[in-house]
Structure 1
Amino acid sequence: MEENKIIFKVTHEEEGLKLRAYLKKVQRLSSRLIKGAALSGRLEIDHKRVKLNHIVKAGESISLNLIKEESQNIEPEEMDIQVVYEDKDIIVVNKKPGVVVHPTRSYPNGTLANGLLYYFRERGENCIVRLVSRLDMDTSGLIIVGKNQFAHMCLARDMKSENFEKSYIAVIHGKMDAREGIIDLPIYRNEEAGIKRVVDERGQRSITHYKVIDDFKNDQLLNLTLETGRTHQIRVHLSYLGHPLYGDTLYGLGDDNQYIKRQALHAYRLKFPHPRGDKIMELESDIPQDIIELIRNIR
């Protein structure tokens, strides 16, 4: 089926390159994908298998078959999956708070990946779960998953492009000094502190853009967009500035249980280039009910 293939048309300007170089330099495919596709016979020109040292010619159609046999050591589990968008290459879901994204030693079952694998199997799709983005257990919101190796590679590659944006809403204690700004502070993990991160010069550069979108009596609702994607980045940055998230038991004030049972952070918007390169996707999800109730109570 043609929908399970990616077709590249060689132009006159690209003629003369070896197939490996063409796929890597022109089409920006990863070396791993190129090698795997060649070894499994999933690269063809005019329905014939070709080697990676083939010299490409103008007008040739290079076909990459996306179907491959693969498995994953994750147990499929029936789960209520809220699908925001889906096509043959990607699925975007709205994760509920309290759900771990991928199995770990502490959470071997009941994760989003378990539910997605069940979802794929029920629909007869031979997909494994290729997470492009992740969220903390108690952060809700949009997560992208690639349904094939090509889609995952493209999305992971493009995460640093200007067309890739991850935006959040957050309810914070207190009020920021300015209505909008950029938080540029390095984040470091001290292994002795477990999962907790700190702002420290030894850490990686971490950049968060913020804008105040609503004021309450003593607190604020922020829109935040990540320029970098460090673990706990928003939570660490806001806590360091003295404005921790409501409900954040790791970085917060520890006395918010009467308002909300988890950190008030929701990944509400995603913007990204579609893997097939024909459009920019822009997706949003509604503010969860527990954050709406929190705002009502502190307003």
Structure 2
Amino acid sequence: MEENKIVFEVKTEEEGLKLRAYLKKVQRLSSRLIRGAALDGRLEVDDRRAKLNHIVKAGENISLNLAKKESQNIEPEKMDIKVIYEDRDMLVVDKQPGVVVHPTKSYPSGTLANGITYYFRKKGEDCIVRLINRLDRDTSGLIIVGKNQFAHMSLARDMKDKNFEKNYIAVIHGKMENEEGIIDLPIYRDREAGIRRVIDKRGQKSITRYKVVCDFKKDQLLKLTLETGRTHQIRAHLSYLGHPLYGDTLYGTEDDSQYIDRQALHAYRLKFPHPRGNGVMELRADIPQDIVDLIGKIK
């Protein structure tokens, strides 16, 4: 089927490269994808099976067949999945709080990946769950799943670029010193601290941009943009500055159970280039009711 193919037309300035170099340098495909497609016979030049040492010429059509038999050890489980966007390359869902993204030893079932596997099977789609981004169990919001190897590779690659925007909203204790700013503090995983991350010069560079959206009596609603994607980055950064999230039992110091029963953090917006070059995607997820209720109680 044509929808399972990606086709590139070689431009004049690109000819003379070997096919492997063309796909890697010009089309920015991963070595793993190139090698696997070549071995499986899923690479063609003008409808003929191609070898990686083929010298590309201007006007040639290089096609990559995305159809590939794959399996994954994730049991399908019926679950309410809130789909924000879907096409042949990706599925974007609004994850609810309290849901683990992927099976682990502690959570072998009941995860978002189990629910998405069921969703794909019900639709008759032979896809495995390729997560582009992840969220903590009690963080809600947008998660992207690549539906084929090419989409996963492209989205994962582009997520490291500044054109890939990840925005969150958070309700914090207290008020930031400035209306907007950049938090540039290294995050370190100290084995003695368990899953909790700490700010430490031994850690990885971690950058969070913030802007105050609403002022309440004592607290604030922030918009946050991640420039890096460390585990617990927003929670660790804000806690270190003395402004932990409402409901954050790991990084906070107060019992917020009367206000909200999870950290008040929601991944509400994603902006990124479509993997096939079909423009820029901008997707949003509504603020969950429990955060709306929290705001009503503290404003």
Shorter-chain TM-score range: over 0.9
1:52 maps to what in 2?
52
State the AA in 1 paired with 2:31: S
Give, in whole Å, the separation in 2 of the partners of 1:251 and 1:175: 17
Alignment of 1:175-186 (within 5 A): 175-186=175-186
State the AA in 1 paired with 2:291: I
Give, in whole Å, the separation in 2 of the partners of 1:110 and 1:49: 43
Following superposition, the deviation at residue 244 of structure 1 comes to 0.1
2:265 maps to what in 1?
265
Give, in whole Å, the separation in 1 of the partners of 2:209 and 2:124: 41
Give, in whole Å, the separation in 2 of the partners of 1:12 and 1:298: 62
Following superposition, the deviation at residue 185 of structure 1 comes to 0.4
Give, in whole Å, the separation in 1 of the partners of 2:188 and 2:30: 29
Contact 1:10 1:60 in 2 (8 A): yes
Q: Any unmatched runs of 5+ in structure 1?
A: none
Following superposition, the deviation at residue 77 of structure 1 comes to 0.4
Query: Deviations along 1:83-122, whole A, 9 cap, x unmatched?
Result: 0000000010000000000000000000000000000010
Query: Deviations along 1:56-84, whole A, 9 cap, x unmatched?
Result: 11110011000100000000001000000
Following superposition, the deviation at residue 46 of structure 1 comes to 2.1
Give, in whole Å, the separation in 1 of the partners of 2:77 and 2:41: 33
2:13 maps to what in 1?
13
Query: Deviations along 1:169-205, whole A, 9 cap, x unmatched?
Result: 0000000000000000000001122111000000001
1:23 maps to what in 2?
23
Give, in whole Å, the separation in 2 of the partners of 1:278 and 1:144: 17
Give, in whole Å, the separation in 1 of the partners of 2:39 and 2:51: 9
2:100 maps to what in 1?
100
TM-score (norm 1): 0.99
TM-score (norm 2): 0.99
SS of alignment partner, residue 236 of structure 2: helix
Contact 2:77 2:118 in 1 (8 A): yes
State the AA in 1 paired with 2:13: E
SS of alignment partner, residue 237 of structure 1: helix
Give, in whole Å, the separation in 2 of the partners of 1:266 and 1:16: 49
Q: Any unmatched runs of 5+ in structure 2?
A: none
Aligned-pair identity in percent equals 79
2:246 maps to what in 1?
246
SS of alignment partner, residue 261 of structure 1: coil
Give, in whole Å, the separation in 1 of the partners of 2:10 and 2:71: 33
Give, in whole Å, the separation in 2 of the partners of 1:202 and 1:126: 43
Contact 1:95 1:141 in 2 (8 A): yes
1:277 maps to what in 2?
277
Query: Deviations along 1:219-259, whole A, 9 cap, x unmatched?
Result: 00000000000000000000000000000000012410110
SS of alignment partner, residue 235 of structure 1: helix
Runs of at least 4 residues of structure 1 off by over 6 A? none
Contact 1:163 1:280 in 2 (8 A): no
Give, in whole Å, the separation in 1 of the partners of 2:113 and 2:40: 27
1:79 maps to what in 2?
79
1:142 maps to what in 2?
142
Give, in whole Å, the separation in 1 of the partners of 2:254 and 2:118: 37
Give, in whole Å, the separation in 2 of the partners of 1:160 and 1:14: 26
